[in-house]
Amino acid sequence: MAEIEAEFRRALKATRKFQAFFTAERDHTRRAAEWIHRFGEWATESEPFAASYRRISSEFRDQLDRLHKLLLPIYREFEVRKED
């Protein structure tokens, strides 16, 4: 579970980084290459968490509640920081 915590944190950080770029860039068509690059970074950073979550949800369905309880405080921590 510690590994998926770290993967989740990296995925949240990547999401925040991409969202910051996306909201700062007003002319999305002008910088399409940059947008694609940033989206690729987000996808690459998020994939380990997505793979772990898929594996747990398919092989260890009985552990999903435990996993959600573990990840919820981390998600809330990131949401609070977003507002700062």
Q: Using one digit for the tens of pLDDT, what is the confidence trace for 21-76?
A: 878 766 666 677 888 888 999 999 999 999 999 999 999 999 999 999 999 999 99
Count the neighbouring beta carbons within 10 Å of the beta carbon of residue 45: 18
Range of the domain at 20: 2-83
pLDDT recorded at residue 20: 87
Question: Which residues, 6 or more positions from 51, have their beta carbon under 8 angstroms from its beta carbon?
Answer: none
* Number of domains present in the structure of the chain: 1
pLDDT recorded at residue 82: 63
pLDDT recorded at residue 28: 60
Measure the CA–CA gap between 6 and 2, rounded to whole angstroms: 6
pLDDT recorded at residue 35: 83
0.85 surpassed by pTM: no
